[in-house]
Amino acid sequence: MRILRSARLFLLALLVAAVPLAVCPAPAHAAVFISVGFAPPVLPVYVQPPCPEAGLMWTPGYWAYGPDGYYWVPGAWVPSPYVGALWTPGYWGWGAGLYLWHPGYWGPHVGYYGGVNYGFGYMGIGFVGGVWHGGVFAYNTAVMRVNTTVIRNVYVDRTIVERNTIVNDRHVAYNGGPGGINHQPTSQERSYMNERHTAPTSFQTQHAQAAMHDHNAYAKVNGGHPHELAAARPLQAERQTRPMNQSRPVNQARPAAQRTTNQARPTEQSRPQARPASRPQPQRQARPEEHSKPESHPR
């Protein structure tokens, strides 16, 4: 028994020691999760920048893990990769004596994210910041900051916010374990977890990589109080096609339109070449006819 126990402790120590080698720059839609031996810092309190234009989805800020420990990835407005897409944020969960990172993803519904109350619609259960209607996203201004002079698809629903809010006065950033949030996935959240999902956009990945390379974003430098809590500008739209979205016909239509315009230009250039060729022909044919008329008079 002592030998088995020692072996387990030895394997656990090796796993913890290998954590810095298994760090990924950003949450990815993959089966490999990041594991850390100590809890992430508390979630900072910040003000959400107002949504500047329609069709943007809010992705809350979170603590990621890099070569120098935990670092803060600022929250950002992100263009939806396809019509009807909703963002499920990643979360830290306790398991096997370690804190495991579960990456976020896009999908038709918001799944389980550990009950972590990120605010701004992600109150712990589902998403209450807005809904899709007829291909247009409407924002719930009860929890979302929106520039109403530009965006008119807004409404106010505080009841749904109260029903799906998990009180997190201590701003805990992880689920389970000592002092963590105690919320298990509901049956609906489990069904949403089994849906087909889409990975974060390339601009989301670049956004997280930029935070990883920012020395001031690490908790050991800022003491758990990052200077940049939210991105001032929205991220760029993903132009590459996605496996499960409605943007594929649109993206395929653009190259087709370019081909038609490119084919139309050579035809326009070919017209001036045809005109000089057609003009001299009537002149050459007209001269013999004029000489033939005087020859008929002597006869």
| pLDDT value, residue 285 | 45
Q: Is the distance from CB of 198 to CB of 85 less than 8 angstroms?
A: yes
The tens place of each residue's pLDDT in the chain, 299 residues long, gives: 444 444 444 444 444 334 333 333 333 344 446 888 899 999 999 999 999 999 999 999 999 999 999 999 999 999 999 999 999 999 999 998 999 999 999 999 999 999 999 999 999 999 999 999 999 999 999 999 999 999 999 999 999 999 999 999 999 999 999 999 999 999 999 999 989 999 999 999 999 999 999 999 999 999 999 999 999 999 999 864 444 434 333 333 343 334 333 443 444 443 444 444 444 444 444 444 444 444 444 43
Would the pTM of this model clear 0.95, i.e. be above it? no
Residue 273 main-chain phi, psi, to 5 deg:
-70, -30
| pLDDT value, residue 33 | 64
Q: To which H or E segment does residue 82 belong? A: none
Q: How many CA atoms lie within 13 A of 297 on its CB side?
A: 4
| pLDDT value, residue 63 | 98
Q: Is the distance from CB of 32 to CB of 60 less than 8 angstroms?
A: no
Kindly state the tokens that stand for 70: 């935990």
Q: Note whether residue 70 is domain-resident.
A: yes
Q: Note whether residue 66 is domain-resident.
A: yes
CA distance 111 to 215: 32
CA distance 183 to 175: 7
Q: Note whether residue 287 is domain-resident.
A: no
Contacts 24+ apart (CB under 8 A), 179-186: 179/39, 180/39, 180/94, 181/114, 181/115, 181/116, 181/124, 182/115, 183/114, 183/115, 183/124, 183/125, 185/111, 185/112, 186/112, 186/125
Q: How many CA atoms lie within 13 A of 160 on its CB side?
A: 16
Neighbouring CB atoms inside 10 A of 25's CB total 16
| pLDDT value, residue 264 | 39
Residue 289 identity: E
Q: Note whether residue 275 is domain-resident.
A: no
Please report how the helices 280-296 and 248-278 are oriented relative to each other, as an axis angle in degrees rounded to 10.
30
| pLDDT value, residue 238 | 82
CA distance 51 to 147: 6
CB-based burial label for 251 (10 Å; 0-12, 13-18, 19+): middle
Q: Note whether residue 192 is domain-resident.
A: yes
Q: Note whether residue 78 is domain-resident.
A: yes
Residue 26, CA distances (Å) to 82, 177, 213 in order:
21, 24, 11
Q: Note whether residue 264 is domain-resident.
A: no
Q: Note whether residue 89 is domain-resident.
A: yes
- Residues counted in the chain: 299
Q: Which of 206, 244, 243 is nearest to 76 (CA)?
A: 206
Kindly state the tokens that stand for 99: 């804190």
Total domains in the chain come to 1
Kindly state the tokens that stand for 158: 């505080």
Range(s) of the domain holding residue 149: 2-251
CA distance 75 to 120: 10
